[in-house]
Amino acid sequence: MAVGLTQPEALIPVAGVQLAATASGIKKNGKADVVLIQLAETSVSAAVFTRNQFCAAPVVIARRHIEMGMPRALLINAGNANAGTGKQGLRDAEQSCEWVAAALGCRASEVLPFSTGVIGEPLPMAKLQQGIQATSTSLSSDTWMQAATGVMTTDTVAKTVSRQFELNGNTITVSGFAKGSGMICPNMATMLAYVFTDAAVDKKFLATALASAVAKSFNAITIDGDTSTNDACVLTATGAAGNTPISADSNGKAFAACIEEVCTQLAQLVVRDGEGATKFITVDVQSALDIDEARQVAYTIAHSPLVKTAFFASDPNWGRILAAIGRAGVENLEIENVSVHLDDVCIISAGERDAAYSEAQGKRVMLQDDISIKVQLNRGDANAVIWTSDLSHEYVRINAEYRS
């Protein structure tokens, strides 16, 4: 039930990155579930992880390893989250890194592990080991789509984006893929996202560019208000393009803009493929006192089950939006200054139903697949945009049957 999605965008290979995917039997459907990515020795990486206090074992290990140095490999398994698995889960995540290190000739601390899937089940290590053995001997520079598909769980399509830009005569490539469809309200990133570039980039600036991009993309989406235990986003620059290293003072603006564009596109693809989604909704809160206030109002609207189910029904029940704004916790909100639009239709002006509004106008907008809600608080100059989806019968079915 993906909203406005077609076949995934073909990824442009990034020099210095080799990938492989295989079906090891971790997923019940028999599809690819282990992905291995090898990075050139010249690569530098930055990563952000979930802030969920029950973070998965691979998050703990990946965070520890990237603090020790630059990774040479990323290992991803789908179908099992290795979360809520205690000390054994940590040992299993470490063991998987040791297996990759032995296969690729690097240190275990140079491997970042990632998992996604069912929480609370032990990682099937024999199957994972077989997957590592298979992928380590089939790494290729042109298997990007297989890797993007191999990280999927309840996703209906792979999420892929590639962009290129010119830098002092060099063509710089940025390619990325992500997975995520449910348990999406990232407090750093989406469930799993990987972005690669062949540019040479200063390590410190790479982290800055990633943090900025994530704030405006993966941290601006929600499907169901649930932050995953396994969220992670990695940005790797291989340096294979041979350019003078990009930094804040050297071509930083163009590079950061490209990373932000790729991350934003990936984040929106996650929302469009939200579990059971039939609508893609942009919540745009304007003229708030500060960015936190704007985001608070936007997320209150986006998380409201009443608002989300009204969108699923294509019902212009604008009272639900009004109620969400009113309970968002904005201090001293002067409701007579608030206006609300559904796309081009003004439904609320001066805190009440607009005199020109009609039910037919609202219904016309609500029948669209892509809908925007614009809220003007008229309290300041801060704006925030959040992307979300509706809440359908299918969402309930998918999650009720998730472990079946």
What DSSP string runs through 5-74? --SPPPPPP-TTEEEEEE--S-STT----EEEEEE-TT-EEEEEE---TT--HHHHHHHHHHHHS--SEE
Query: Is 159 found in the same domain as 82?
Result: yes
Percent of the chain with pLDDT over 90: 88
The count of domains in the chain is 2
Query: Is 92 found in the same domain as 75?
Result: yes
The predicted structure's pLDDT at residue 383: 98
Alpha-carbon gap, residue 172 to 195, rounded angstroms: 13
Closest CA to 390 of 308, 320, 300: 308
User: Does residue 6 lie in a domain region?
Assistant: no
pLDDT in tens, 174-198: 999 999 988 888 887 667 999 999 9
pLDDT in tens, 207-247: 999 999 999 999 999 988 888 899 999 999 999 999 999 99
pLDDT in tens, 247-295: 999 999 999 999 999 999 999 999 999 889 999 999 999 999 999 999 9
Query: Is 239 found in the same domain as 308?
Result: no
User: Does residue 323 lie in a domain region?
Assistant: yes
380 and 286 Cβ atoms separated by less than 8 Å: no
User: Does residue 196 lie in a domain region?
Assistant: yes
Query: Is 293 found in the same domain as 268?
Result: no
73 and 105 Cβ atoms separated by less than 8 Å: no
User: Does residue 220 lie in a domain region?
Assistant: yes
The predicted structure's pLDDT at residue 182: 83
Spatial strand order of the sheet with 232-237 comes to: 44-49, 232-237, 192-197, 170-179, 159-167
Question: Residue 210, class by beta-carbon neighbours within 10 Å (0-12 exposed, 13-18 middle, 19+ buried)?
Answer: buried
Alpha-carbon gap, residue 70 to 53, rounded angstroms: 25
Domain boundary, last residue among 272, 292, 320: 272
Domain with residue 358: its CATH number is 3.10.20.340
- pLDDT category at 404 given cuts 50, 70, 90 is low
Average pLDDT score over residue span 377-397: 95
What DSSP string runs through 69-93? S--SEEEEEEEE---S-HHHHHHHH
Query: At 264, phi and psi to the nearest 5?
Result: -65, -45
User: Does residue 101 lie in a domain region?
Assistant: yes
Average pLDDT score over residue span 285-312: 97
Place of tokens 């409701």: 335
Given the DSSP bridges, would you call strands 382-389 and 221-222 parallel, antiparallel or unpaired? parallel
Domain boundary, last residue among 272, 291, 312: 272
385 and 220 Cβ atoms separated by less than 8 Å: yes
Query: Is 266 found in the same domain as 334?
Result: no
- The residue from 160, 190, 222, 229 that is catalytic is 190
Alpha-carbon gap, residue 178 to 233, rounded angstroms: 9
The half-sphere exposure of 80 on its side-chain side, counting CA atoms within 13 A, is 24
User: Does residue 10 lie in a domain region?
Assistant: no
Q: How many residues does the chain have?
A: 404
User: Does residue 3 lie in a domain region?
Assistant: no
CA angle 72-113-149, nearest 5°?
95
Domain with residue 69: its CATH number is 3.60.70.12
Query: Is 230 found in the same domain as 99?
Result: yes
Domain boundary, last residue among 272, 290, 311: 272
238 and 196 Cβ atoms separated by less than 8 Å: yes
Query: Is 228 found in the same domain as 93?
Result: yes
Supply 290's token pair: 């500060």
- pLDDT category at 1 given cuts 50, 70, 90 is low
What DSSP string runs through 96-134? HHHHHHHHHTS-GGGEEEEEEEETTS---HHHHHHHHHH
Query: Is 26 found in the same domain as 82?
Result: yes
Output the pTM of the full model.
Answer: 0.95
Query: Is 253 found in the same domain as 144?
Result: yes
User: Does residue 362 lie in a domain region?
Assistant: yes
Q: Which domain holds residue 292?
A: 280-400
- Start-to-end Cα distance in the chain: 20
Active site (annotated) includes residue 208: no
